[in-house]
Amino acid sequence: MKSGHVVRGTVLVLVCLVQLIPFYLAVTTAFKPLTDLSSPWLFPAGGATLENFSMAVEEGGVLHAIWNSVVVTVSATAIVCVLGALAAYPLARIRSTLNRGIEILVLSVMMIPPLSILVPLYSMLNRAGLLNTYAGLILPLACLELPRAVFLYTQFLRSIPVSLEEAARVDGANTFEVFFRIVLPLLKPVSVTVVILTGVYVWNEFALSSYIMSGDSMKTLAPAIAAFFGEQGSQVNAAVAGSLLGAIPMIVAYVFLQKYFIRGMLAGADKG
Protein backbone atom coordinates (compact mmCIF):
# COMPACT_ATOMS: atom_id res chain seq x y z
CA MET A 1 0.00 0.00 0.00
CA LYS A 2 2.77 2.40 0.91
CA SER A 3 4.69 1.52 -2.24
CA GLY A 4 1.62 2.49 -4.30
CA HIS A 5 1.50 5.90 -2.61
CA VAL A 6 5.21 6.37 -3.29
CA VAL A 7 4.77 5.53 -6.97
CA ARG A 8 1.80 7.89 -7.34
CA GLY A 9 3.65 10.62 -5.48
CA THR A 10 6.72 10.20 -7.67
CA VAL A 11 4.63 10.36 -10.85
CA LEU A 12 2.86 13.52 -9.65
CA VAL A 13 6.20 15.17 -8.83
CA LEU A 14 7.56 14.30 -12.28
CA VAL A 15 4.43 15.65 -13.97
CA CYS A 16 4.71 18.90 -11.99
CA LEU A 17 8.38 19.26 -12.94
CA VAL A 18 7.57 18.76 -16.62
CA GLN A 19 4.83 21.40 -16.39
CA LEU A 20 7.27 23.86 -14.77
CA ILE A 21 9.98 23.47 -17.43
CA PRO A 22 8.52 26.13 -19.81
CA PHE A 23 8.22 28.58 -16.91
CA TYR A 24 11.83 27.90 -15.87
CA LEU A 25 13.09 28.46 -19.43
CA ALA A 26 11.04 31.67 -19.66
CA VAL A 27 12.57 33.03 -16.45
CA THR A 28 16.16 32.24 -17.48
CA THR A 29 15.61 33.79 -20.92
CA ALA A 30 13.84 36.92 -19.68
CA PHE A 31 16.63 37.84 -17.26
CA LYS A 32 19.49 37.26 -19.70
CA PRO A 33 21.17 40.20 -21.44
CA LEU A 34 21.01 40.26 -25.24
CA THR A 35 24.74 39.51 -25.42
CA ASP A 36 24.37 36.28 -23.42
CA LEU A 37 24.13 33.45 -25.96
CA SER A 38 24.46 30.62 -23.47
CA SER A 39 21.98 27.76 -23.19
CA PRO A 40 18.49 28.74 -22.02
CA TRP A 41 18.79 26.02 -19.37
CA LEU A 42 21.48 28.09 -17.62
CA PHE A 43 20.97 31.21 -15.54
CA PRO A 44 22.75 34.39 -16.76
CA ALA A 45 26.46 33.97 -16.15
CA GLY A 46 27.06 37.69 -15.65
CA GLY A 47 24.03 38.24 -13.44
CA ALA A 48 20.38 38.92 -14.13
CA THR A 49 19.25 42.05 -15.97
CA LEU A 50 15.95 43.90 -16.34
CA GLU A 51 16.72 45.35 -19.77
CA ASN A 52 14.38 42.88 -21.48
CA PHE A 53 11.47 43.96 -19.28
CA SER A 54 12.35 47.60 -19.97
CA MET A 55 12.38 46.91 -23.71
CA ALA A 56 9.04 45.09 -23.51
CA VAL A 57 7.43 48.02 -21.68
CA GLU A 58 9.00 50.96 -23.51
CA GLU A 59 9.37 49.66 -27.07
CA GLY A 60 6.71 46.98 -27.14
CA GLY A 61 4.05 48.85 -25.15
CA VAL A 62 3.28 45.70 -23.15
CA LEU A 63 1.78 47.53 -20.18
CA HIS A 64 -0.66 49.40 -22.41
CA ALA A 65 -1.47 46.13 -24.17
CA ILE A 66 -2.11 44.53 -20.78
CA TRP A 67 -4.55 47.34 -19.96
CA ASN A 68 -6.36 46.79 -23.26
CA SER A 69 -6.56 43.08 -22.49
CA VAL A 70 -7.92 43.82 -19.01
CA VAL A 71 -10.70 46.02 -20.46
CA VAL A 72 -11.62 43.43 -23.11
CA THR A 73 -11.39 40.44 -20.76
CA VAL A 74 -13.40 41.95 -17.90
CA SER A 75 -16.11 43.29 -20.22
CA ALA A 76 -16.47 40.11 -22.29
CA THR A 77 -16.46 37.91 -19.18
CA ALA A 78 -19.16 40.00 -17.49
CA ILE A 79 -21.37 39.80 -20.58
CA VAL A 80 -20.88 36.04 -20.84
CA CYS A 81 -21.69 35.44 -17.16
CA VAL A 82 -24.85 37.57 -17.14
CA LEU A 83 -26.31 36.37 -20.45
CA GLY A 84 -25.19 32.78 -19.86
CA ALA A 85 -26.97 32.53 -16.51
CA LEU A 86 -30.14 34.18 -17.82
CA ALA A 87 -30.27 31.92 -20.89
CA ALA A 88 -29.51 28.73 -18.96
CA TYR A 89 -32.24 29.16 -16.33
CA PRO A 90 -35.24 28.43 -18.59
CA LEU A 91 -33.28 25.71 -20.40
CA ALA A 92 -32.63 23.91 -17.11
CA ARG A 93 -36.08 24.35 -15.60
CA ILE A 94 -38.40 23.93 -18.61
CA ARG A 95 -38.04 20.50 -20.18
CA SER A 96 -39.46 20.66 -23.71
CA THR A 97 -38.61 19.62 -27.25
CA LEU A 98 -37.87 23.24 -28.15
CA ASN A 99 -35.42 23.67 -25.29
CA ARG A 100 -33.75 20.36 -26.15
CA GLY A 101 -33.30 21.61 -29.70
CA ILE A 102 -31.81 24.87 -28.37
CA GLU A 103 -29.36 22.89 -26.23
CA ILE A 104 -28.23 20.89 -29.27
CA LEU A 105 -27.85 24.14 -31.22
CA VAL A 106 -25.72 25.60 -28.41
CA LEU A 107 -23.46 22.55 -28.44
CA SER A 108 -23.20 22.73 -32.23
CA VAL A 109 -22.14 26.38 -32.15
CA MET A 110 -19.29 25.45 -29.80
CA MET A 111 -17.78 23.37 -32.61
CA ILE A 112 -17.51 26.25 -35.10
CA PRO A 113 -13.87 27.40 -35.51
CA PRO A 114 -13.61 31.14 -34.78
CA LEU A 115 -11.40 31.76 -37.82
CA SER A 116 -14.10 30.42 -40.14
CA ILE A 117 -16.14 33.60 -39.52
CA LEU A 118 -13.20 36.02 -39.66
CA VAL A 119 -13.84 37.43 -43.16
CA PRO A 120 -17.57 38.19 -42.78
CA LEU A 121 -16.99 39.38 -39.21
CA TYR A 122 -14.25 41.78 -40.31
CA SER A 123 -16.43 43.14 -43.12
CA MET A 124 -19.36 43.67 -40.77
CA LEU A 125 -17.24 45.44 -38.14
CA ASN A 126 -15.66 47.60 -40.83
CA ARG A 127 -19.07 48.74 -42.11
CA ALA A 128 -20.20 49.41 -38.53
CA GLY A 129 -17.04 51.43 -37.76
CA LEU A 130 -16.07 49.12 -34.90
CA LEU A 131 -12.54 48.22 -36.00
CA ASN A 132 -9.89 49.28 -33.47
CA THR A 133 -12.54 49.75 -30.79
CA TYR A 134 -13.13 47.85 -27.58
CA ALA A 135 -16.70 47.00 -28.56
CA GLY A 136 -15.52 45.54 -31.87
CA LEU A 137 -13.53 42.87 -30.05
CA ILE A 138 -15.58 42.44 -26.86
CA LEU A 139 -18.84 41.53 -28.62
CA PRO A 140 -17.44 38.81 -30.96
CA LEU A 141 -15.41 37.19 -28.17
CA ALA A 142 -18.40 37.23 -25.83
CA CYS A 143 -20.53 35.58 -28.53
CA LEU A 144 -17.91 32.89 -29.07
CA GLU A 145 -17.72 32.05 -25.34
CA LEU A 146 -21.44 32.32 -24.60
CA PRO A 147 -22.41 28.77 -25.75
CA ARG A 148 -19.96 27.14 -23.32
CA ALA A 149 -21.23 29.34 -20.49
CA VAL A 150 -24.85 28.41 -21.26
CA PHE A 151 -23.90 24.73 -21.23
CA LEU A 152 -22.07 24.94 -17.88
CA TYR A 153 -24.81 26.99 -16.22
CA THR A 154 -27.50 24.62 -17.50
CA GLN A 155 -25.79 21.54 -16.09
CA PHE A 156 -25.18 23.25 -12.75
CA LEU A 157 -28.75 24.53 -12.45
CA ARG A 158 -30.10 21.01 -12.89
CA SER A 159 -28.22 19.98 -9.75
CA ILE A 160 -30.03 22.63 -7.66
CA PRO A 161 -33.24 21.31 -6.02
CA VAL A 162 -36.39 22.84 -7.48
CA SER A 163 -37.91 22.78 -3.99
CA LEU A 164 -35.95 25.93 -3.08
CA GLU A 165 -37.66 27.87 -5.87
CA GLU A 166 -41.07 26.37 -5.11
CA ALA A 167 -40.79 27.49 -1.49
CA ALA A 168 -39.98 31.03 -2.64
CA ARG A 169 -42.99 31.05 -4.98
CA VAL A 170 -45.24 29.91 -2.14
CA ASP A 171 -44.06 33.00 -0.25
CA GLY A 172 -45.19 35.18 -3.17
CA ALA A 173 -41.95 35.65 -5.13
CA ASN A 174 -42.20 36.00 -8.90
CA THR A 175 -39.83 34.43 -11.45
CA PHE A 176 -37.37 37.34 -11.44
CA GLU A 177 -37.24 37.43 -7.64
CA VAL A 178 -36.73 33.67 -7.49
CA PHE A 179 -33.84 33.86 -9.96
CA PHE A 180 -32.02 36.88 -8.53
CA ARG A 181 -32.63 36.19 -4.83
CA ILE A 182 -32.59 32.37 -4.64
CA VAL A 183 -30.88 30.91 -7.71
CA LEU A 184 -28.22 33.49 -8.58
CA PRO A 185 -26.40 33.33 -5.19
CA LEU A 186 -26.14 29.55 -5.61
CA LEU A 187 -24.37 29.95 -8.97
CA LYS A 188 -21.14 31.26 -7.47
CA PRO A 189 -19.07 28.06 -8.02
CA VAL A 190 -20.01 27.65 -11.68
CA SER A 191 -19.77 31.41 -12.24
CA VAL A 192 -16.15 31.32 -11.09
CA THR A 193 -15.54 28.45 -13.50
CA VAL A 194 -17.06 30.47 -16.35
CA VAL A 195 -15.01 33.52 -15.31
CA ILE A 196 -11.73 31.58 -15.39
CA LEU A 197 -12.40 29.69 -18.63
CA THR A 198 -13.69 32.77 -20.44
CA GLY A 199 -11.05 35.06 -18.96
CA VAL A 200 -8.16 32.81 -19.97
CA TYR A 201 -9.50 32.38 -23.49
CA VAL A 202 -10.09 36.10 -24.06
CA TRP A 203 -6.79 37.04 -22.41
CA ASN A 204 -4.79 34.73 -24.69
CA GLU A 205 -6.85 35.26 -27.86
CA PHE A 206 -4.65 36.17 -30.81
CA ALA A 207 -6.24 35.50 -34.21
CA LEU A 208 -9.26 37.81 -34.05
CA SER A 209 -7.45 40.41 -31.92
CA SER A 210 -4.63 40.82 -34.43
CA TYR A 211 -7.10 41.77 -37.18
CA ILE A 212 -9.76 43.70 -35.25
CA MET A 213 -7.33 45.62 -33.00
CA SER A 214 -4.52 46.32 -35.47
CA GLY A 215 -3.74 49.86 -34.28
CA ASP A 216 -0.65 50.24 -32.09
CA SER A 217 -2.59 51.93 -29.29
CA MET A 218 -5.34 49.28 -29.32
CA LYS A 219 -3.31 46.07 -29.45
CA THR A 220 -4.04 43.46 -26.82
CA LEU A 221 -1.36 41.38 -25.14
CA ALA A 222 -0.96 38.49 -27.59
CA PRO A 223 -0.52 40.65 -30.75
CA ALA A 224 1.78 43.01 -28.83
CA ILE A 225 4.08 40.10 -27.93
CA ALA A 226 3.90 38.73 -31.48
CA ALA A 227 5.18 42.10 -32.73
CA PHE A 228 8.62 41.24 -31.29
CA PHE A 229 8.97 38.66 -34.07
CA GLY A 230 9.37 40.14 -37.54
CA GLU A 231 11.05 39.74 -40.90
CA GLN A 232 14.05 41.85 -39.84
CA GLY A 233 14.74 39.78 -36.73
CA SER A 234 13.32 38.59 -33.44
CA GLN A 235 13.66 39.90 -29.91
CA VAL A 236 13.02 36.66 -28.07
CA ASN A 237 14.21 37.86 -24.66
CA ALA A 238 11.89 40.89 -24.70
CA ALA A 239 8.99 38.76 -25.94
CA VAL A 240 9.47 36.28 -23.11
CA ALA A 241 9.72 39.12 -20.59
CA GLY A 242 6.46 40.55 -21.90
CA SER A 243 4.85 37.13 -21.65
CA LEU A 244 5.84 36.85 -17.99
CA LEU A 245 4.35 40.28 -17.27
CA GLY A 246 1.16 39.28 -19.07
CA ALA A 247 0.84 36.05 -17.11
CA ILE A 248 0.79 37.77 -13.71
CA PRO A 249 -2.90 38.88 -13.75
CA MET A 250 -4.12 35.41 -14.73
CA ILE A 251 -1.98 33.69 -12.10
CA VAL A 252 -3.21 36.02 -9.37
CA ALA A 253 -6.84 35.51 -10.42
CA TYR A 254 -6.52 31.73 -10.44
CA VAL A 255 -4.82 31.62 -7.03
CA PHE A 256 -7.74 33.45 -5.46
CA LEU A 257 -10.46 31.58 -7.36
CA GLN A 258 -9.07 28.04 -7.61
CA LYS A 259 -11.23 26.46 -4.89
CA TYR A 260 -14.39 27.76 -6.56
CA PHE A 261 -13.08 26.68 -9.95
CA ILE A 262 -12.62 23.05 -8.86
CA ARG A 263 -16.00 23.03 -7.08
CA GLY A 264 -17.73 24.46 -10.12
CA MET A 265 -16.18 21.91 -12.50
CA LEU A 266 -17.32 19.00 -10.30
CA ALA A 267 -20.70 20.31 -9.19
CA GLY A 268 -23.64 18.74 -10.95
CA ALA A 269 -21.56 16.02 -12.60
CA ASP A 270 -23.79 13.29 -11.16
CA LYS A 271 -26.92 14.98 -12.53
CA GLY A 272 -25.55 16.54 -15.76
The yes-or-no verdict on residue 125 having pLDDT over 90 is yes
Do the domain assignments include residue 49? no
Whether residue 55 lies inside any domain: the answer is: no
Structural domain of 101: 62-266
Cα dihedral: 225, 227, 231, 232 (round 10): -90
Q: How confident is the model at residue 109 (pLDDT cuts 50, 70, 90)?
A: confident
Q: Which residues of 174-204 are buried (b: 16+ CB within 10 A; e: fewer)?
A: eeeebbeebbeebbebbbbbbbbbbbebbbb
pLDDT band at 231 (very low <50, low <70, confident <90, very high): low
Q: How far apart are CA 16 and CA 26, in angstroms?
A: 16
The verdict on residue 124 lying in a domain is yes
Max mean pLDDT among 13-17, 36-40, 124-128 falls in 124-128
Q: Give the count of domains, the chain.
A: 1
Contact between 216 and 61 (Cβ < 8 Å) = yes
| Residue from 127, 137, 128, 129 nearest 211 by CA | 137
Percent of the chain with pLDDT over 90: 38
Is pLDDT at 137 greater than 90 in this prediction? yes
Quote the mean pLDDT of the chain: 86
pLDDT bracket for residue 264 (50, 70, 90): low
The pLDDT of residue 166 is 86
Q: How many helices (H) and strands (E) does the chain have?
A: 13, 2
In a domain, 231, yes or no: yes
DSSP H helical segments within 31-182, as ranges? 51-58, 62-93, 97-109, 118-128, 134-157, 163-170, 175-177
**129 in a domain, yes or no?**
yes
Nearest to 92 by CA among 143, 146, 144, 150: 150
Residue 156 lies in a domain: yes
Most confident of 61-65, 193-197, 228-232, 248-252: 61-65
Global pTM value:
0.86
pLDDT tens-digit map of 68-105? 999 999 999 999 999 999 999 999 988 888 888 988 88
Instruction: Please report whether residue 48 resides in a domain.
Output: no
The larger pLDDT score, comparing residue 264 to residue 37, is at 37
